[in-house]
Each structure stands twice: as C-alpha cells, then as structure tokens.
Amino acid sequence: MSTVLSDEARPALTQLSEEEEMFREAVRDFAESEVAPRVARMDEAQKMDEDLIPQLFELGLMGIEIPERFGGAGSSFFTSVLVVEELSRIDPSVAVLVDVQNTLVINALNRWGSAEQRERYFPALARDTVGAYALSEAGSGSDAFALTCRARQEGEEWVLDGQKLWITNGAEADLFIVFATVDPEAGYKGITAFLVERDFDGFTVGKKEDKLGIRASSTTELILDGCRVPESHVLGEVGKGYKVAIETLNEGRIGIGAQMVGLAQGALDHTLRYVKEREQFGRPIGQFQGVQFQLAEMATDIEAARLLVYNAARLKDAGKEFLVPAAMAKLHSSRIAQTVASTCIDLHGGYGFTREYPVEKLYRDAKIGTIYEGTTNMQLQTIAKLMLR
C-alpha cells in the first residue's frame, strides 16, 4: 500500500502518466524485493550493501535525467522525485544515495557542465560512478558561503586546499563537485565549483560520521591538500560557483521533500498492517476510534506534503518559478515525517521502541530532514523573504 487515495480519487496534480506509473511500479517492486531484506543489516553495519549499488545502476535509477545517448534514462526531474519517494518507503538511506546522484550531481552537470564535461562524466554516472556534492565545511553550514577551502591557479591547473564535512555518498563516490573560493576578498563572488575525481593527487576521503539515522548512507569528510585539478574541470564559470550551489540546492530540496514523504508513507504502511493484527481488549486496535483518528490525521498530512512536493517538481520541469514551493515542500514534509514516525511508534506501543519493528529506524531517519539541504529556519527565511519582496 503506497497511498490511501485511489488513482481515480487523486487530485490531477498527483496523477501520473503511464510512463511515470510504470517507472514507479518497477522501483517499488525492486525496493520491496531487493532493498527491504537488506535494511536492518545495512543499518547495523552502517554501510550500503555493495551488491545493491550495481543494481541501482542496472535499473537506471542513477542516471534518470541523463540523456539516452549517454546511457541514461532520459527522463524528467519529476521521475527522480518519484524514485526517491518510493525508495524512501523502504529505506531512506538508499533513497538519499540516489537523490544526491540525480537532483544534485547530475542536475548541476546538466545545467552548468560544458559539452566536454557531459561527454566525459554522463556515461560513467549512468553506468557505474557514484557522485557527491561537497559544499559544507565546519564553519559553513546554513552560512553556505563562509568557505575556508581555497583554490589558486598554477598554470593550467587549480590547486585546492581545505576540508569538507558532512558529504553524503563520500565513501562510495568517485566524482565530487567541490566548492572553493578563488578570492576571499570577493566574498561569495569568489566561489567556484570544481569537478574532482577521487584519484586526483592531494584528494583524500576522511573519516565517516557515526550518525543517528540514515546510517547506511555514508557521510564523510574530504581532505584537499594541494589537490591538483585541471583547468577544464571548473564547473560553470570561475567566481560563479555560488550560482551553481544555490540553484542546485533549490532543486535538491524537492528531492529531500520526496524522501520525507516516502519515509512517512512507509511508517504509516507498517502501522496500518500492525493495527489490523495487534489485539487489545478482544479486538484489533485499528477498530478503536481513537486509533482511527490518528491514522486519518497522518494520511491527510502525508497527502498534503506529497501535493507540495509534486507541485514543486512539476513547476521545475515546466521551467516555472519554484523556489518558494520547493522551500514549502521541504519544510512541511520534514515536519510531518517526524510527527508521523513518532505517532507510528506510539501506535506500536512497546514494540515500536525496539529494533524488531521498522518504525524505530524510520523515526531515527526522519530527523535529518529538518537539517540537510537547508534547515527548517532557512526554509522559513526563504519563504518569508520572498513573500515580503
């Protein structure tokens, strides 16, 4: 069960084309048959199953918006959102690996990459190469452009020095979009984006974080110690990295919204099954009105969040303004993911507090939604600022 509403009863905004529906069903089948049996083991080991990543490539989930001539699916941003939502129902850790690959790395290359860069990287990203997006630093979180990572030009190369933190996919990635400043005096106008390969001299993937949730998703530091990057690997223009960062993250927030919607739906799905089986006072607890009201509230909240996410994704694909809708989608979906996962634990009672039932993991996974790719406060600031403009 994915949603409460039947396709006939769904608003036009959430109705899917035949192609989108087929893609979603394929991802759902894959998630339930291949991902679900691995979830608990990956969470315990804090590591993505190595056999799973090649399957993600084989199914076409790692190159959704890459043109077909490069080996990608040649599909839409909205399709990426559907994939992230469906994977998140089963495991948000797997979903965020796919999300970063598509909504950040591939999206940035689609928009800012040169023809030569796309020729070089798109076939690999569609075939077997994981990408990562390296903006954050120890003192650069919500203040995204307070970068201390520096880049200086030496002949036909750039030399990067500094450290990046909280880099999703760091352990698996072979391609990194790294942001550094070429001129600290220029402020944000000195920031530049670079395409850095794992085997470049002076580049090292550092420690892996021990996290509360999405534990199978790697989050690492990156160390750049005289990392030499060819001049041809500047993504976009020198000094225009701030545009690459802002505009890519605006789109990425929609992907996080989809992750949180899928997570919440997954928690509700588990709970709907549980309340039909768990008996108290001689009948299933799902027959009690108090429980039914809680289920109805959760279903309504999830559907509202889904509408916000789908609306933002449709606007993005249509080339229309989506900044505020994206911020609203991430804001609301990250909130409801936490409240739904918490309520689902309540309805499981003591069992919900144990690792025997999957809602405990989803509760831990939900917390990150209010933090990465723009905190709740940053979404509120974005919405209010544009309202008052």
Active-site residue list: 373
Residue pointed to by tokens 């992907």: 255
Parallel, antiparallel, or unpaired for β 131-134 and 175-181?
Answer: parallel
Closest CA to 162 of 121, 102, 203: 203
Phi, psi at residue 241, to the nearest 5°? -65, -25
Task: Report helix, strand or coil for 77.
Answer: helix
Cβ proximity of 206 and 221 under 8 Å: yes
Residue pointed to by tokens 């089986």: 277
**Distance separating alpha carbons of residues 117 and 115, to the nearest angstrom:** 6
Closest CA to 366 of 348, 387, 345, 389: 345
Helix (H), strand (E) at residue 384: helix 376-388
**Distance separating alpha carbons of residues 74 and 102, to the nearest angstrom:** 12
**What crossing angle do the helices spanning 241-277 and 77-90 adopt, rounded to 10°?**
40
DSSP structure class, residue 209: P
